[in-house]
């Protein structure tokens, strides 16, 4: 299964590395790096359903669940 947040949809991104020799970057190739989302496996209790669900959620997704509630976040994500 891919490393994707089930609430926000965040996944890995490809970005460039930073070179300390800023003016000579064309002569000092640094390559690309894959930046992974900060995913956590969490058990979230949904009182409207009366049960808990286990999700792979990013930390931003956890903030979303805390702010709008578990049921609303899962419904917007299409899980429920």
Confidence (pTM): 0.78
Predicted local confidence at residue 1, as pLDDT: 58
User: For 58-70, what is each residue's pLDDT tens digit?
Assistant: 999 999 999 999 9
How many helices and strands in the chain, by DSSP H and E? 2, 4
Is the pLDDT confidence value at 74 over 90? yes
Phi, psi of 5 (to 5 degrees): -70, 130
The encoded tokens of residue 70 equal 């578990």
Span 13-77 CATH architecture: Roll (2.30)
Residue corresponding to tokens 């590395």 = 17
Predicted local confidence at residue 67, as pLDDT: 97
User: For 22-48, what is each residue's pLDDT tens digit?
Assistant: 665 566 667 788 999 999 999 999 999
């Amino acid at each position: 299964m891919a490393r994707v947040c089930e609430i926000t949809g965040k996944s890995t991104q490809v970005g460039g590395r930073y070179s300390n020799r800023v003016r000579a970057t064309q002569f000092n190739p640094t390559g690309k790096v894959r930046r992974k989302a900060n995913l956590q496996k969490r058990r979230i209790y949904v009182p409207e359903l009366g049960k808990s669900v286990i999700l792979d959620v990013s930390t931003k997704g956890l903030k979303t669940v805390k702010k709008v509630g578990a049921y609303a976040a899962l419904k917007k994500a299409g899980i429920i």
